[in-house]
Amino acid sequence: MFLRTIEKDGQVFFKQIPNIPKAYQSLEDIGRFKRRELKPTHNLKAIFKSIRNYLAANNVGVTRDEILAQPLINFIFCKLYDEKMTHPEDIVNFWGGVDEPAQKVQKFSFELFEKVRENQKHLFGLEDKIILDKNSIAYVVGELQNYSLINYDRDIVADAF
């Protein structure tokens, strides 16, 4: 988890942000990447473990891996779909900026998952949904948004668990 310090009227507040800015990048630019700028990764297991731990700690009654698996799988497919449908020179849609309200990230996630369900009818039915709260969704998006999953050299779902 990354925190931004905000000082206002002599008080200090902390706001969770999805990532730390890269060199020469502003806070507002976090998560805004062209598809070709997404980083390859060779160790998604550590990222998935971080997501799993966050979800288990922040979702009441949800600690078993098999319950946490479905939302994570849904996000993996959303991310893959977005990368597949986005030209390398275009900005990806799977992102959440620093000042992006969690509710807006949740809304785009639901819309993106609807497209995935339409595109992958053999994998997802009408009953399949993203069942996380808006803050958990924003966290998952923030953790995954910098990476390219489409070029991952291993089985993504297997690494998630």
Question: Higher-confidence residue: 82 or 1?
Answer: 82
pLDDT band at residue 42 using 50, 70 and 90 as cut-offs: confident
Sign of CA dihedral 137, 80, 113, 73: negative
What does the domain layout of the chain look like in residue ranges? 33-160
pLDDT at 158: 63
pLDDT(71) > 90: no
Spatial distance between the Cα atoms of 118 and 65, rounded to a whole number of angstroms: 26
Of the chain, the percentage scoring pLDDT greater than 70 comes to: 83
pLDDT in tens, 85-123: 999 999 999 988 777 888 999 999 999 999 999 999 999
Q: Which DSSP string do the residues of the chain spell out, in sequence order?
A: -EEEEEEETTEEEEEEESSPPPTT--GGGTT--BGGGSBP-S-HHHHHHHHHHHHHHHSTT--SHHHHHHHHHHHHHHHHHHHHHS-TTSBPS----TTS-HHHHHHHHHHHHHHHHHHTTTT--TT----S-HHHHHHHHHHHTTB-STT-SS-HHHHH-
Q: Which amino acid is present at 91?
A: I
Report the range out of 4-8, 25-29, 35-39 with the highest average pLDDT: 35-39
